[in-house]
Amino acid sequence: MCGIVGYVGPKDARDVVLEGLRRLEYRGYDSAGIAVVADGQLSSAKKAGKLANLEKLLADQPLPAATVGIGHTRWATHGGPTDRNAHPHLSADGTVAVIHNGIIENFAALRAECESAGVEFTSETDTEVAAHLLAAAYAAAPEGQGRLAEAMRVICRRLEGAFTLVATSAHEPDTLVAARRSSPLVVGVGDGEYFLGSDVAAFISHTREARELGQDEVVEIDRHRGLSVTDFAGNPVEPKSYTVDWDAEAAEKGGYDWFMLKEIAEQPKAIADTLLGRLGANGELVLDEVRLSDQDLRDIDKIFVVACGTAYHAGLIAKYAIEHWTRIPVEVEVASEFRYRDPVLDRSTLVVVVSQSGETMDTLMALRHAKDQKARVLAICNANGSTIPRESDAVLYTHAGPEIAVASTKGFLTQLVACYLVGLFLAQVRGIKYEDEVATVVAELRELPAAVAKVLEQMEPVRELGRSMADADRMLFLGRHVSFPVALEGALKLKELAYIHAEGFAAGELKHGPIAVVDEGTPVVIVVPPRARDLLHAKVVSNIQEVRARGARTIVIAEEGDEDVVPYADHVIRVPRTPTLLAPVVTTVPLQVLACEIADSRGLDVDQPRNLAKSVTVE
Ligand code: F6R
**Chain segment 228-285, per-residue pLDDT in tens:** 999 999 999 999 999 998 888 888 888 999 999 999 999 999 999 999 988 776 667 7
* Same domain for 243 and 257: no
Q: Is 387 in the pocket of ligand 1 (CB under 6 A)?
A: no
* Same domain for 104 and 192: yes
Nearest-atom number in ligand 1 for the CA of 360 is: 16
Dist CA 557 CA 551 (whole Å): 19
Is 611 a domain residue? Answer: no
Nearest CA to ligand 1 atom 3: 309
Q: What is the pLDDT of residue 249?
A: 85
Give the closest residue to 448 by CA, choosing from 416, 424, 422.
Answer: 416
Please give the distance, rounded to the nearest whole angstrom, from the Cα atom of residue 311 to the centre of ligand 1.
Answer: 6
For 122, phi then psi, to 5°, come to -115, 0
Q: What is the pLDDT of residue 263?
A: 97
Is 238 a domain residue? Answer: yes
Q: Checking phi first, is residue 449 left (phi over 0); if not, alpha (psi -120 to 50) or beta?
A: alpha
Dist CA 140 CA 434 (whole Å): 67
Nearest-atom number in ligand 1 for the CA of 415 is: 14
Q: Which helix (H) or strand (E) holds 48?
A: strand 41-48
Dist CA 152 CA 146 (whole Å): 10
Is 618 a domain residue? Answer: no
Please give the distance, rounded to the nearest whole angstrom, from the Cα atom of residue 356 to the centre of ligand 1.
Answer: 7
Domain boundary among 424, 446, 468: 446
**Measured between alpha carbons, how far is residue 159 from residues 108, 141, 307, 474 in Å?**
11, 18, 27, 44
Residues 6+ apart with CB under 8 A from 496: 406, 407, 595, 609, 612
Mutate to test the pocket of ligand 1, among 75, 387, 408, 419 (most ligand atoms within 8 A of CB): 408
Please give the distance, rounded to the nearest whole angstrom, from the Cα atom of residue 314 to the centre of ligand 1.
Answer: 10
Contact 56, 71 (CB under 8 A): no
Dist CA 476 CA 504 (whole Å): 6
* Same domain for 226 and 375: no
* Same domain for 336 and 320: yes
Nearest-atom number in ligand 1 for the CA of 363 is: 16
**Could you count the other beta carbons within 10 Å of the beta carbon of residue 479?**
28
Per DSSP, which regions of 437-587 are E strands?
474-479, 501-506, 523-527, 553-559, 571-575
Is 612 a domain residue? Answer: no
Question: What is the average pLDDT score of the chain?
Answer: 95
Nearest-atom number in ligand 1 for the CA of 388 is: 16
As annotated, the active-site residues are: 2, 614
Dist CA 476 CA 491 (whole Å): 7
Residues 6+ apart with CB under 8 A from 387: 182, 184, 215, 358, 359, 364
What torsion, rounded to 10 degrees, do the Cα atoms 309, 311, 315, 318 define? 140
Dist CA 533 CA 543 (whole Å): 15
560-604 pLDDT per residue, tens? 999 999 999 999 999 999 999 999 999 999 999 999 999 999 999
* Same domain for 242 and 305: no
**Buried b vs exposed e over 176-194: b needs ≥16 C-beta within 10 Å?**
bbbbbbbbbbbbbbbeebb
**Could you count the other beta carbons within 10 Å of the beta carbon of residue 461?**
13
Please give the distance, rounded to the nearest whole angstrom, from the Cα atom of residue 237 to the centre of ligand 1.
Answer: 32
Is 451 a domain residue? Answer: no
Q: Is 309 in the pocket of ligand 1 (CB under 6 A)?
A: yes
Q: Is 606 in the pocket of ligand 1 (CB under 6 A)?
A: no
| DSSP state letter for 42 | E
* Same domain for 307 and 277: yes
Mutate to test the pocket of ligand 1, among 312, 313, 333, 360 (most ligand atoms within 8 A of CB): 360
Dist CA 617 CA 619 (whole Å): 7
Q: Would you list the DSSP string of 122-179? A: -SS-STHHHHHHHHHHHHHSPSSTTHHHHHHHHHHTT--EEEEEEEEETTEEEEEEEE
Domain boundary among 250, 282, 306: 250
Q: What percent of the chain has pLDDT over 70?
A: 99
Please give the distance, rounded to the nearest whole angstrom, from the Cα atom of residue 574 to the centre of ligand 1.
Answer: 27
Nearest CA to ligand 1 atom 7: 407
Please give the distance, rounded to the nearest whole angstrom, from the Cα atom of residue 308 to the centre of ligand 1.
Answer: 6
Nearest-atom number in ligand 1 for the CA of 312 is: 10
Query: Where in the sequence is the domain holding 517, given as residue range(s)?
Result: 456-601
Please give the distance, rounded to the nearest whole angstrom, from the Cα atom of residue 494 to the centre of ligand 1.
Answer: 14
Q: Is 184 in the pocket of ligand 1 (CB under 6 A)?
A: no
Is 131 a domain residue? Answer: yes
* Same domain for 112 and 7: yes
When pLDDT is cut at 50, 70 and 90, the band that residue 617 belongs to is: confident
Helix residue ranges, H only, 459-583: 460-468, 483-498, 534-549
Q: Is 522 in the pocket of ligand 1 (CB under 6 A)?
A: no
Q: Is 363 in the pocket of ligand 1 (CB under 6 A)?
A: yes
* Same domain for 261 and 204: no
**Could you count the other beta carbons within 10 Å of the beta carbon of residue 518?**
19
Residues 6+ apart with CB under 8 A from 617: 1, 2, 101, 102, 162, 182, 183, 184, 359, 360, 361
Q: What is the pLDDT of residue 251?
A: 84
**Measured between alpha carbons, how far is residue 20 from residues 56, 205, 249, 394, 463 in Å?**
17, 9, 14, 31, 33
Q: What is the pLDDT of residue 283?
A: 65
Q: Which helix (H) or strand (E) holds 325?
A: helix 309-326
Mutate to test the pocket of ligand 1, among 616, 618, 619 (most ligand atoms within 8 A of CB): 616
Please give the distance, rounded to the nearest whole angstrom, from the Cα atom of residue 354 to the centre of ligand 1.
Answer: 9
pLDDT of 534 above 80: no
Count of domains for the chain:
3
pTM of the complete model: 0.90
When pLDDT is cut at 50, 70 and 90, the band that residue 356 belongs to is: very high
Dist CA 35 CA 11 (whole Å): 15
Q: What percent of the chain has pLDDT over 90?
A: 89
The CATH number of the domain holding residue 215 is: 3.60.20.10
Q: What is the pLDDT of residue 290?
A: 75
Please give the distance, rounded to the nearest whole angstrom, from the Cα atom of residue 56 to the centre of ligand 1.
Answer: 31
The CATH number of the domain holding residue 511 is: 3.40.50.10490
Nearest CA to ligand 1 atom 10: 310
Residues 6+ apart with CB under 8 A from 52: none
Please give the distance, rounded to the nearest whole angstrom, from the Cα atom of residue 383 to the centre of ligand 1.
Answer: 13
Dist CA 529 CA 564 (whole Å): 12
Q: Is 308 in the pocket of ligand 1 (CB under 6 A)?
A: yes
Nearest CA to ligand 1 atom 9: 309
Q: What is the pLDDT of residue 154?
A: 98
Mutate to test the pocket of ligand 1, among 198, 310, 395 (most ligand atoms within 8 A of CB): 310
* Same domain for 96 and 169: yes
* Same domain for 322 and 259: yes
Contact 184, 615 (CB under 8 A): yes
Dist CA 447 CA 451 (whole Å): 6
* Same domain for 403 and 314: yes
Surface-to-core class of residue 55, CB atoms within 10 Å of its CB (0-12 exposed, 13-18 middle, 19+ buried): middle
| DSSP state letter for 93 | T
Q: What is the pLDDT of residue 158?
A: 97
Domain boundary among 230, 250, 270: 250
Q: Is 398 in the pocket of ligand 1 (CB under 6 A)?
A: no
284 alpha carbon, distance to own chain's centre? 29
Nearest CA to ligand 1 atom 6: 308
Residue type for position 98:
V
Q: Is 355 in the pocket of ligand 1 (CB under 6 A)?
A: yes
Computed over its alpha carbons, how large is the radius of gyration of the chain? Answer: 25
* Same domain for 62 and 169: yes
Is 613 a domain residue? Answer: no
Taking the chain, what is the end-to-end CA distance rounded to the nearest angstrom? Answer: 11
| DSSP state letter for 92 | T
Is 530 a domain residue? Answer: yes
Q: Is the dihedral of CA 402, 408, 413, 414 positive or negative?
A: positive
Q: Pairing relation of β-strands 376-381 and 349-355? A: parallel
Dist CA 423 CA 437 (whole Å): 13
Q: What is the pLDDT of residue 533?
A: 76
